Structure 1
Amino acid sequence: MRIALIYPRIRGYDRESFGTNGYIANMSGYPPLSLAYAASIIRRAGHDVLIIDANIMSLSGKEIVSRLKKFSPDLLGFTLTTPTFHGVRAWIRRIRVEVNVPVLAGGALLGLFPREVMGYQEFDYGIVGTARDSLPALLGALKKGRAPKMIPGVCLRDGGKVLVNFPVSGEEGVEDLLFPARDLLPYERYFSPFSGGGGFTAMLASCGCPFSCSYCCLAGNLRFRKLDGVTAEMEECFKRYDIRNIDFYDSVFTCDRERVLRLCGAIRRLNLPFSWTARTRLDLVDEEILGAMSASGCRMLMYGIETFHASSLRRVNRPVLSVAQIRESIRLTRKKGIAAFGFFMLGIPGETEEIMKRTINLSKCVGLDFAQFTKLTPIGGTALYDLQIKATGDDYWRDYIGRGNRDDDIASVGCTIPQVTLLKAVHRANIGFYFRLPQIMRILFEARSFRRLLRYARSALNMAFSRLKEGKKAGAPENMV
């Protein structure tokens, strides 16, 4: 079979709960790893596969259709997320006017709302859970002309009914994860706001998270890749694709201290000039581990700080650190030559405007190089969202996906700050953090190159000034014609 995987370009999100358009702009240079992983699985199963990254290539609908007609696929594949769901549906309708073949959907959204997703005529088949076994089984059945009604992990529409076959077991291991099919991507085009010279990609050293923050859908079921697999993928990235900048997209990179020390040693032994970034928590670093990370090429750590208020942290099941502890961990980070990035959330249950203002003000006083402020949103699959349903009786995201007619934005239960006030505070916090003379001078001094300075400046401007315009419907396809 011939399968075309498509990553369309979406103009923006249709509600601020998904994040600001500045965040979208800053993440727009990342490769669609989920499609690249799926492509590796498809290719290993003996099928032909094409990836069209219309986002990074800025392809119009006409250009996408032209490439599809040249490839002549038997099946189209799309990855689904809640923010882009209805935008992707619009793209599918546009494409199938001229390339009318079945559509396969994948992504975490299928695990949350499979019946709601498959209720739409745009989708013929879906993958629930990981695709390692279910995707080859589905393609094998379709190739032989058999109905894939009983395959675990596959859902489909059968006449007027939606059939959902959940995976037999839980999450599959990632120890021997296939390398993403980067050769099918325009890998030379990808970038991050913080990448330097040379190519850029994202990578996983682990999946899941050992902690249980109530706002996070990744809580639990931590799985590690083999270290030699991680370093082998890094070596391939450098030697085959000239990639020198890597963002490890693990939820908490340093959750296993000894493993990280071994990984850093293995990266150093590659003796390749990598620059890499990662995400973690301030209570999971110390001077030794920061030194090892710096020596192996780490140039930025992104810390989930969220708030400085102890009661707010406890409400979302986060550890409480004093301002002095936070400041000291950031000082050690910067001492080792690693930039410190802080994530903050406004609108935590029980939070007041005074608490929110304190978080914004203190964020400027702990030594951070970069920061990002967002509004806390209860998302599907989290403990916080379960509490939201219990308190209100409103399964907001099921309605949003299944009916698509929710014009209201979701509020966080237990937070009495008006949504308009929260969104204005997010906007002011991002502007206030970056547009201070000390911060401007710090960025100018530490950028190291004019190219990186431009990316830093663009990132800050995106976060500070890119907001959804009133009355403009985002989440729609861009360049559809």
Structure 2
Amino acid sequence: MKNILLISPQYRGFKPEFPLGLGYVAAALESVGYRPKIIDLNIDDLSYLTKCLKEDWLFIGISGFTFAFKQIDDLVKQIRKANNSPLVLGGIIVNSYPEFMANYFTEVDYFVNGEGEITAVELAKNLENDEALFGSILGLIYRQNGEIIFNASRPLIKNIDTIDFPARHLFDLSKYAKLSNPPFSRNASIIGSRGCFAKCTFCFRNFNGEYRTRSVNSVLDEIELLINHYNIEYIDFRDELFLATDSRIMAFCSGIKERQLHFIWGAAIRIDSVKNKETYRAMRACGCIYLTMGTETASEKILEVMNKGVSKKTIIQSLSLMKNSGISVSTSFIVGMPGETKETIKETEEAIKSIGFPAGQVYLPRAFPGSWLYDYSIKNGFITNEIEYLNKVSVGSIFDLIVNYTDMSNSELLFRQKQMNGEMFFGSKFIHGQINM
């Protein structure tokens, strides 16, 4: 049997995105002759899932984030009631907390811990040939005689240029138009790097500080394919570190000009990536219309708590560079981290008012497995029942106050968050910059 079903769970309270991870795994499986089918429950109707669960599959795979814990739990139960095919779980939900998830999801047969392309292919071959040589598959967690077996970790793929492009032909891309920000009828998501060299304390993406980039030519090859084959007009870079330095950005812009590619694009970017205004001019000239960045705070004390690796001075200098760039910029802030006080919030508010930070959102901290903040929350008694907590963060809004790490009352913290959001939206001096070309 060659048929494999891959499922992306529904996300509540978080904006759903094109499931690039499943696209990469599907491409790897296709490259060796398997026939994957993908269901995205943020897009596809539940009746389609019900129909697919009536069929037999070599395996059924789910990949998702921890903030969909309850949805994944419900999905596992639904699948197991309707279908006896081997069930596999992977993605951040496993990577960030493998032992916990393997013990909790008792109806899951296999867990993929780490990057999934190679592990999924090796697992498929074992299942197809009924070899049961699961102990040799790096990155696999499985059950044997009532015990959970944790195989050795799979090394990260060093040269990520060698990874096949996501299998976008398995998706109806027109359904994802409403998910792009800003919305475009013909849009696609792309990543130009994997991993991260930063170790922000609130981040749940566990890369052990390893950061790998695709070559600029590889990224441009994929963009050219998207334009020529899918008629894509807008490209959204989903990784924050593809545009990590001025030199890399300029090389990318030069490549766009050399290939005479015509598209518009947006990206996430670190606050300290760009060091000179000419880089922003080059980006705008090559189609960049939108940037988003996690500024988080302008308090030196909270920057240290977050381990952001930047100073308040750097933040102000970087945002000043963006003025008159012609690029729409959105920032995000987090208020309520451990150590946050009225004074640290005021420090950030004053910075917003003084420089005119770009419009964005002010969020409350949310701890997820894999982050320093999650470990801190358990150690200090903020999270006492992990299952209850993970269920709660799976169904609420991203603006809900789940844990208050400050000495302020819940009502005061929520008021200050709401007040800052008002300043972000109505007090911003440069939501859209202008540039003289």
TM range (shorter): 0.7 to 0.9
CA distance in 1 between counterparts of 2:250 and 2:216 reads 11
Task: Indicate which of 227, 234, 238 corresponds to 1:245.
Answer: 234
2:123 is equivalent to residue 138 of structure 1: yes
Seen in structure 2, the aligned counterparts of structure 1 residues 68 and 238 have a Cα distance that, compared at 3 Å, is: farther
Q: CA deviation at 1:411?
A: 3.6
- SS at the partner of 2:42? helix
Counterpart of 2:408 in structure 1 is: 417
Q: Secondary structure at the match of 2:291?
A: strand
| CA apart distance, 1:260 | 1.9
Deviates more, 1:261-270 or 1:343-352: 261-270
Distance in 1 of aligned mates of 2:254 and 2:373? 38
Contact 1:4 1:68 in 2 (8 A): no
Correspondence for 1:127 among 83, 104, 112 = 112
Q: Which runs of 5+ in 2 are unaligned?
A: none
Q: What is the match of residue 8 of structure 2? A: 7
Label 1:341 to 1:232 Cα distance change in 2 as closer, same or farther (>3 A). same
Task: Output the CA distance in 1 between the equivalents of 2:60 and 2:144.
Answer: 18
Shift of 1:440: 11
1:212 aligned residue (179, 192, 199): 199
Cα contact 1:300–1:338 (8 A) shared by 2: yes
2:68 maps to what in 1?
A: 84
The 8 Å contact of residues 357 and 429 in structure 2, kept in 1 or not, is answered as no
What is the match of residue 297 of structure 1?
A: 287
Quick one: which of 233, 254, 257 aligns to 1:265?
Answer: 254
Residue equivalent to 1:153 = 139
Query: Does structure 1 residue 48 correspond to structure 2 residue 15?
Result: no
How many Å separate the matches in 1 of 2:114 and 2:291? 30
TM-score (norm 1): 0.78
| CA distance in structure 2 between the aligned counterparts of 1:167 and 1:320, rounded to whole angstroms | 36
Identical aligned residues as a percent: 27
Q: Secondary structure at the match of 1:278?
A: strand
The answer to whether the 8 A contact 2:180-2:187 is kept is: no
* CA apart distance, 1:234: 0.6
* Distance change (3 Å), C-alpha of 1:274 and 1:33: same
- 1:36: Cα distance to partner? 0.7
Distance 1:409 1:115, change over 3 A: farther
2:85 to 101, 121, 124: 101
Residues of 2 paired with 1:315 and 1:442: CA distance? 28
1:98: how far off? Answer: 3.0
Deviations 1:32-87 (A, max 9, x none): 11111110111112111101122123x12x33212444x64232111132111221
Partner-residue secondary structure (3-state), 1:282: coil
What is the deviation of 1:264? 1.6
Which residue identity lines up with residue 200 of structure 1 in the other structure?
N
DSSP-derived class of the 1:335 partner: coil
Check 1:215–1:98 CA distance in 2 against 1; reply closer, same or farther (3 A cut).
closer
| Equivalent residues in 2 for 1:17-416, closer than 5 Å | 21=13, 24=14, 27-28=15-16, 30-57=17-44, 59-60=45-46, 62-69=47-54, 72-119=56-103, 120-150=105-135, 151-170=137-156, 172-191=158-177, 192=179, 194-195=181-182, 197-218=184-205, 220-285=209-274, 286-318=276-308, 319-322=310-313, 326-327=315-316, 329-360=318-349, 362-363=351-352, 365-392=354-381, 397=386, 411=403, 415-416=406-407
- For 1:290, the aligned partner's letter is Y
Report how far residue 127 of structure 1 moved: 0.6
Letter in 1 for 2:287: G
Q: Deviations over 1:388-441 (max 9, x none)?
A: 455559686588569x99x9986475x32344543444344335533x3x7699
| Distance in 2 (alpha carbons) for counterparts of 1:320 and 1:327 | 9
Gaps of 5+ in 1: 13-20, 447-481
SS at match of 2:319: helix
SS in 1 for 2:303: helix
TM-score, normalisation: structure 2: 0.86
With 177-186 and 163-172 compared, the bigger mean Cα shift is at 163-172
What secondary structure, in the 3-state scheme, does the structure 1 residue paired with 2:82 have? coil
Higher relative contact order (CA 8 A, sep 6+): 1
Q: Distance in 1 between matches of 2:415 and 2:144?
A: 47
Change (3 A) 1:423 1:47: farther
Shift of 1:176: 2.1
2:142 corresponds to which letter in structure 1? L
RMSD after superposition: 3.3
- Cα shift at 1:31: 0.8
**Is the CA contact 1:310–1:320 (under 8 Å) kept in the aligned structure 2?**
yes
**CA 1:311–1:369: 2 relative to 1, 3 Å:** closer
Q: Distance in 1 between matches of 2:106 and 2:241?
A: 38
Equivalent residues, number = 423
Residues 1:199 and 1:261: Cα distance change in structure 2 (over 3 Å): same
Shift of 1:115: 3.1
CA shift, 1:244, in A, is 1.5
Q: Residues 246-290 of structure 1: CA distance to partner in whole angstroms, max 9, x if unpaired?
A: 111222343233122111211232323211111223332121211
- Contact 1:176–1:229, Cα closer than 8 Å, also in 2: no
Question: What secondary structure sits across from 1:340 in the alignment?
Answer: strand
Cα distance between partner residues in 1 of 2:362 and 2:133: 45
CA contact (8 A) 2:213 2:242 kept: no
